[in-house]
Amino acid sequence: MSVAGPTGWVGRSIRRLEDPVLIAGRGRFTADLPAAHRVRFVRSQHAAGRIANISAPNGIMLVTAADLKDVKPIRPMLHKFDYVPIGQPVLATDRVRFVGEAIAAVVAASEAEAEDAADAVEVDLTPADALIDARAALADGAPLVHAEARGNVIVKGTVETPEFAAARSGADRLLRVDVRSHRQNATPLEPRCGHAAFDPASGRITLTCSTQMPHLTRTAIADLLGLPEAELRVIAPDVGGGFGQKMSLPPEYVLLVWLARKLQSSVAWSEDRHENLIAAFHSRDQQITLEGGFDRDGKLVCLSADVIANIGAYSCFPTTGAVEPLMAMAEMPGPYDVRGYRCAARGVLTHTCPMAPYRGVSRPVITFAIERLMDRAAVSFGIEPSELRRRNLIKRFPYVSATGLTFDDATYVETMELAIKHIDLAAFRKRQKAERAKGCYIGIGLSTFSERTGYGTPAFAARGMEITPGWETVEISIDPSGFVEARIGASPHGQGLRTTLAQIIADEIGVDPRMIRVVHGDTDRTPYGFGTFASRSLVIAGGASLLAARKVRVKLTRIAGYLLETSADDIVLEAGVAKVAGTDRSLPIESLARAAYHQLHRFKGEIEPGIAESATYDPPGTFSNACHVAIAEVDPDTGRVTLEKFLAAEDAGRIINPMIVDGQIHGGIAQGIANALLEEIVYDGSGNVLTSTLADFLPPTAREIPPIELHHLETMSEATITRAKGVGEGGTIGAPAAVLNAINDAIAPFGVEINEMPATPQRIRAALRAVEKRT
């Protein structure tokens, strides 16, 4: 790694361009908009049942499915793996399928009046038996959540490589882990929120909503309502976090647009936290049985996985509910070299809230599974977990995995060695021994993993997705005053993308990033694109920004060449001026812009008017990587886990803004720690959510998150044109496994294991109690 500092804007921790507005309380979030009407949804209090009648006292404006006969159900599609397309009506028709499902809406002048009106709505519903757990839904004779999905299985992926059978029979030992990841809610601090307004002049509707994907929201709603997309404008203003929960289409937004058209007015809905916890999308509800076969040297030779994902009552748009089980199948081997692989992954319908992507999507769970297996193997072979990993991590690149994924250059071993060096493993083991002698149980846990980022169209097509959100377009223009505007289809909501894209563009065209306005989140103002999710924006929108900026650069140098009477090749763009290299002759970019618009005659017809360029980028995809290390203390009397330290060594290629990268990793790790220790959506046997406040769901505070130490390798990637890889999800992917491995290392003397997350005090105590009884 070079020690020289960056020469341009890229690589510098410049302050975020987003901040001055947000810090002063001048941000514009959806709920800040005034509306003529407020909407409140009446939600099912039963997990399953038949609706007989819905009524409201006179004077209440009530909307039910009977009013929405022309509105199609949300029915995302996948063309592989025996996927069964199922529909979700915008409001429940004759049946309800989860507690929290919207069955009616009321409209009133204020939120309080809408809540009063919703309370007055009477729903006559005959409850039916509910399926909450995926295994119960798979049982013979279980009732069907959707008649068309036999056995309640919506998708089934299977794979077995030709090497598997022989590798398994030749293995020195077979080790098995059964892991359980309980349900999570991404819990953005701003709940979902939508505002639809009718414009009497054009007849168009503007939907302002807290979304990560404005363009796909427009497509989806236009399709469901049978409208041309041109009649709908979708705006994602400031969005208070998303973490994936806001990349799936909420049925509520469809109804808002329908209502605004019907009332020819403005309507708004702000989800409350209770609704968010029970009815916004859930995730990570999986059970995995993983068996690894190892040769006598501790080399993994085969891997066999059975994945059951509880995907809830409906399939989310656009990814479908198959996203978790299929990603588990494709990426289970993680960063390890193994040729023998077999997997069966099923997505199972239950009477619970639909599952959808949440930062990391499936990989926090599969990393937990395989990293537990690796630690189990290390114990079995009597070696350090790091040594076991050293023998198994992929070392030669490009590496084509057992499932056909191409792993580009990465530093799996190097980041692990870096992490171990900084944590001082040898010293820790000494301290651990001394502490144990005093009855104090501390443990260390490692997690080595890859983070697939910035994947393009072919990667999504390989999954059989109807919609393959692989590319992004960026348009860059310079107006006659010399101000630079970049319009992007990506839709950042906290990632600082306005700043990082401006840094990339600034270096190409030689202006200060503060002179560049990055416009996003408005379908009327930005080119079609897919939004921000899957650690894709910096890679894909960043790549498109670079390509578009290069075109602008070419145009600026040509203009300058004409005006300065020299070859375009002699022009250097820097600090807002175009200079003739080696001379003191120069022109400010404003003059070039002015001439491009207002003095076209100076270019003898050889230059097109204006400065506006566009470029699209659709990359093959790449893998970032990292090693996380947690040090935890477990109090065996109470089951309490205290994290002493958390360290991550990561490599995401070129770092555009180190400050922002660290912030992404910090936040991801905090969510991963919460996943490992605290957060859980708990259903009772009849399908009611018992954790419907933030005092029950338990997002961590500043007290629960330990100091996080970060180290970076900045290996320039050949896989992307910016040489940068994505970094948005790695924190959440790696942290849970590191924490669970640390807990298990701490309690190893008791001879028990915790393979369930969150590892709550109750679960840890239950495991310890079991051995206390035996002894």
Partner 1 sequence: MSGKRDIVLSVNGRDYKIQVEPRRTLVDAIREDCGLTGTHIGCEHGVCGACTVLVDGAAVRSCLMFAVQADKKTIRTVEGLAAGDELSVLQRAFMEHHGLQCGFCTPGFLMLITGVLEREPDIGDEELIDVLASNLCRCTGYQNIIKAVRAAVQERRAK
DSSP 507-566: HHHT--GGGEEEE-SBTTTS-----S-TT-IIIIIHHHHHHHHHHHHHHHHHHHHHHTTS
If the CB atoms of residues 543 and 672 are measured against partner 1, the closer one turns out to be: 672
Contact status: 703 vs partner 1 (CB under 8 A)? yes
Q: Identify the residue among 569, 707, 773, 774 touching partner 1 (CB under 8 A).
A: 707
When binding is defined by CB under 8 A, the residue of 161, 181, 187, 315 that contacts partner 1 is 187
Helix (H, G, I), strand (E, B) or coil at 592: helix
Cβ proximity to partner 1: between 461 and 659 the closer is 659
Q: Is 96 in the site for partner 1 (CB under 8 A)?
A: no
Q: Do residues 387 and 378 make contact, with C-beta atoms less than 8 angstroms apart?
A: yes
**Least distance in Å: CB of 208 to partner 1?**
13
**Structure-block tokens of residue 313:** 């009552």
**Residues in contact with 294: Cβ distance below 8 Å, sequence separation at least 6, in sequence order:** 171, 172, 173, 174, 175, 300, 301, 377, 380, 381
Place of tokens 């020690």: 3
Closest to partner 1 by CB, 287 vs 675, is 675
Q: Is 116 in the site for partner 1 (CB under 8 A)?
A: yes
Distance (Å, whole) CA 478 – CA 625:
37
Among 9, 10, 11, 31, binds partner 1 (CB under 8 A): 31
Residue 694 in contact with partner 1, rule: CB under 8 A: yes
Binding mask 258-277 for partner 1 (x = CB under 8 A): ------------x-xx----
What is the DSSP code (8-state) at residue 285?
Answer: -
Residue from the set 52, 66, 109, 112 that interacts with partner 1 by CB under 8 A:
112
Alpha-carbon gap, residue 298 to 500, rounded angstroms: 43
**Rounded to an integer, what distance in angstroms lies between the CA atom of residue 490 and that of residue 617?**
12
User: What angle in degrees, to the nearest 10, is found between the helix axes of 363-381 and 323-331?
Assistant: 40
Pick one of 67, 111, 417, 466: the residue that binds partner 1 (CB under 8 A): 111
173-181/286-294 β-pairing: antiparallel
Per-residue binder mask for partner 1 (CB under 8 A), 195-234, x = binder: ----------------------------------------
Could you tell me how far CA 394 lies from the centroid of its own chain?
Answer: 25
Q: Pick from 3, 7, 25, 69: which binds partner 1 (CB under 8 A)?
A: 25
Provide, rounded to whole angstroms, the least separation between the CB of residue 275 and partner 1: 11
- In whole angstroms, how close is the CB of 506 to partner 1 at the nearest point? 19
Q: Does 16 bind partner 1 (CB under 8 A)?
A: yes
Cβ–Cβ under 8 Å, residues 345 and 157? yes
Distance CA 418, CA 423 (A): 9
**Which pair of structure tokens corresponds to residue 157?**
């992926």
Nearer to partner 1, 22 or 748 (CB): 22
From candidates 23, 66, 230, 770, binder to partner 1 by CB under 8 A = 23
Please name the residue that has the structure tokens 């894709």: 536
Given 705, 713, 721, 752, the residue binding partner 1 (CB under 8 A): 705
DSSP string, 357-408: --TTTTHHHHHHHHHHHHHHHHHHHTS-HHHHHHTTB--SSSEE-TTSPEE-
Cα separations in angstroms, 186 against 183, 241, 275, 736: 10, 9, 13, 15
Cβ atoms of 186 and 243 within 8 Å: the answer is yes
- Find all residues with CB under 8 Å of 671, minimum gap 6, and list them: 243, 359, 731, 732, 735
- Given candidates 1, 601, 702, 775, which one binds partner 1 under the rule CB under 8 A? 702
699 in contact with partner 1 (CB under 8 A): yes
Nearer to partner 1, 442 or 665 (CB): 665
SS3 labels along 477-508: EECCCCCEEEEECCCCCCCCHHHHHHHHHHHH
If one asks whether residue 281 binds partner 1 (CB under 8 A), the answer comes out as: no
- Taking the complex as a whole, the smallest distance from the CB of residue 703 to partner 1 amounts, in Å, to 4
Report if residue 15 touches partner 1, rule: CB under 8 A: yes
Cα atoms in the Cβ-side hemisphere of radius 13 Å centred on 727: 33
Site string for partner 1, 394-433 (x = CB under 8 A): ----------------------------------------
Q: Of 191 and 687, which CB lies nearer to partner 1 in the complex structure?
A: 191
Q: Which of the 8 DSSP states describes residue 73?
A: P
Question: Which stretch in 89-97, 162-170, 340-348, 701-709 sits in contact with partner 1 by CB under 8 A?
Answer: 701-709
**Residue among 35 and 216 whose Cβ is closer to partner 1:** 35
Q: Residue 493 or 553: which CB sits closer to partner 1?
A: 493
Cβ neighbors of 437 (< 8 A, separation 6 or more) are none
283 part of the interface to partner 1, by CB under 8 A: no
654-693 mask for partner 1 (x: CB under 8 A)?
-----xx-xx--xxxxxx---------------------x
Name the residue nearer to partner 1 (CB basis): 126 or 693. Answer: 693
What amino acid occupies position 68? Answer: L
Determine the longest span between alpha carbons in the chain, in angstroms. Answer: 94
Query: Residues 179, 288: contact at Cβ < 8 Å?
Result: yes
Does residue 758 interact with partner 1 by CB under 8 A?
A: no
Q: Is 494 in the site for partner 1 (CB under 8 A)?
A: yes
Size of site (CB under 8 A) for partner 1: 57
Q: How far is it, in rounded angstroms, from Cα 590 to Cα 611?
A: 11
Any contact of residue 24 with partner 1 (CB under 8 A)?
yes
Question: Residue for token digits 């919506």?
Answer: 154
Q: Which is nearer to partner 1, 466 or 704 (CB)?
A: 704
- Using the rule CB under 8 A, which residue among 81, 206, 234, 238 binds partner 1? 238
Residue 243 within binding range of partner 1, rule CB under 8 A: yes
For partner 1, which is the closer residue by CB, 69 or 703?
A: 703
- With beta carbons less than 8 A apart as the criterion, state whether 515 and 552 touch: no
Q: Please report how close the Cβ of residue 381 comes to partner 1 at its closest, in angstroms.
A: 35
26 binds partner 1 (CB under 8 A): yes
Place of tokens 């933030």: 694
Query: Is 193 or 488 the residue whose CB approaches partner 1 more closely?
Result: 193
Strands 640-651 and 708-713 turn out to be parallel
CB of 702 to partner 1, least distance (A): 4
Q: Does 608 bind partner 1 (CB under 8 A)?
A: no
Candidates 10-18, 82-90, 417-425, 566-574; binding stretch for partner 1 (CB under 8 A)? 10-18
Minimum CB separation from partner 1 for residue 653, in Å? 20
- Residue 577, φ and ψ in degrees, nearest 5: -130, 155
Q: Tell me if 644 contacts partner 1 by CB under 8 A.
A: no
34-63 residues in contact with partner 1 (CB under 8 A) are 34
- Assess 642 for contact with partner 1 (CB under 8 A): no
Q: Which residues bind partner 1 (CB under 8 A)?
A: 15-16, 18-20, 22-29, 31-32, 34, 111-112, 116, 187-191, 238-241, 243, 270, 272-273, 493-496, 659-660, 662-663, 666-671, 693-695, 699, 701-703, 705, 707-708, 731
